[in-house]
Amino acid sequence: MFDNCAVLQILSTLAALCGALVVAPFKYMWWFASAGLAILVIAQLLATLEGANENRKNLTYITIACTFIYPLVWLLGSEGTAALGLSQEVGLVAVTELAGKLGFGLYLLFNFEAASGESEDGEALNQQSQQYV
């Protein structure tokens, strides 16, 4: 049902939530758990890049950048050290969400032919998968 990367991302988000709900110094133990799980997500995403085409690499880099930003915003934001104001924290999360969701979707939309495996003359490169359609 889920792959390992999705489960790790869910656990990372839940650990960040637990860290936001408890008081210091225990909240930082939850942050370390969340950051560690985010590092595992990034490591698994980097492992999938071997032999991948350029479009998949770029989409994976977008995902890695967004996954890297969330623990930093948590630490610098109101849940962590409060080095950022609430409006700055919300702004950074909103920009990260836009880059992650909208940027990912637009990149995939504009590069759909290359990502789907179609050649320039319109024929699919993998004819064997078309025999059951």
Q: How many whole angstroms separate alpha carbon 103 and alpha carbon 118?
A: 22
* pLDDT band with cut points at 50, 70 and 90 for residue 1: very low
pTM reported for the whole predicted model: 0.76
Distance CA 9, CA 86 (A): 24
Letter for the amino acid at 49?
A: L
Domains in the chain: ranges and CATH: 4-113 (1.20.1070.10)
Question: pLDDT per residue over 12-57, tens digit each?
Answer: 999 999 999 998 889 999 999 999 999 999 999 999 888 888 888 9
For residue 63, what are the contacts with CB-CB under 8 A and spacing of at least 6? 45, 100, 104
Between CA 80 and CA 93 the distance in angstroms is: 15
d(CA 96, CA 25) in angstroms, rounded, equals: 27
User: Could you give phi then psi for residue 79, rounded to 5 degrees?
Assistant: -75, -30
